[in-house]
Structure 1
């Protein structure tokens, strides 16, 4: 190494031969270091393009692809610089230790951001949801507008734009309503105890049959599910395509109410009977 050579030459009497020897050795090492640097740059650029090509084929988010590409490029450049410094005779052990200490300090300072970054990578790699999916997570229900490195943007059903930190989203349960091609609508329809339950079942079945958005398979189910305090509760379970879920559910509720009014079927509500007794004195 160059530092050992300098120790051996510098203490001795400097003469032209020693100076020429020192310059020659330094020139050789400098030339080798230059070749390492130039070849390293060429190799790094080629490898960086290859990494980007592989990442693009994996259908990752463009932001994640760019970040991982830049991260790999920076890591390769750092390795090349360390190799060049080592060839020039500089001790890289202390440099690596310094970089490690600096990285630890930065990591502690950016602990929250790093957790969001790690969560973002998990979301993109495992693809729990994608853009335009309807999800529920971190107490928010809405459509995914974008998945970034640190945050996920969600547009709520009332058109508010909510930016959720990825760490908060990944720590909670995530419900993806668009993960499957169809969903089941769960309705609880209460009728009066005085109504004929066979007629109620027939009316609900006719409403379901007349709704074109309800699927034939899986078949809808209509059952008496509960004898409540104030009503006989029917559990109505039709299936629809995922994108028709919300509007079909609202239309079913409205159509059931209108049809019940025409058929004279009563939808009861909680009530309390009060009896007054007169007490003779």
Structure 2
């Protein structure tokens, strides 16, 4: 039994109507959270340190040839499986980001200049990369942050995630779509409590999230608004959102983008002011087209 079926059965047993259970489950996501291992937990990745790159592949850089800081790597085969998040079954994913340069960069259709995701298929010959010349102990940010982050082992656990407009009691809506959807959930408090009962909070601090919803930190436009400005449109149609004709087409398009795109990875950078989020379409994730990943760096002040 997968987690969604487990939730549906428990909700129906509590007397919640099937159609409402389905609407709520449609917003429920499961994410992989990673942090420092406890006891004998399996190590599934590493934050910082030096990346293992395919032999002959240079350290990722921007268009001027400046190397990008290495954030983390994950072993896909060691990760727990999560419904709705079609990560590769094996191989590894490496994440690179220069958060200060990426922050003002427009979120568009091209490969981000200051962020990169590298997928290394299983069986690829790799080697630990040497630090780029002149970057082994240098600070390249306005804050006192080293280019090379100290290495930290990571273990993983699965966490249920709901959108903020469901979880927060005093959420200020800027979307009629989400406000209407919430109004259709008459048992929303009971269903939120059920999620907490089925998957209790492990009381752990993650440093990296895979999947779930993109956090919206700071005052800049959301990634969905920036996508519409950049001309990125959803591949979903009316069959994916029955009743969409009731709403403003622009709001419907943003809502569809939130459903089609998922956070491949989001994380705290070494900065106390910047938060990174890599977004990818579900179809591109399933097809391992990581060159289509978009980067959305947030400023927390």
TM-score scaled to structure 1, two decimals?
0.21
Query: Greater share of helix residues, 1 or 2?
Result: 1
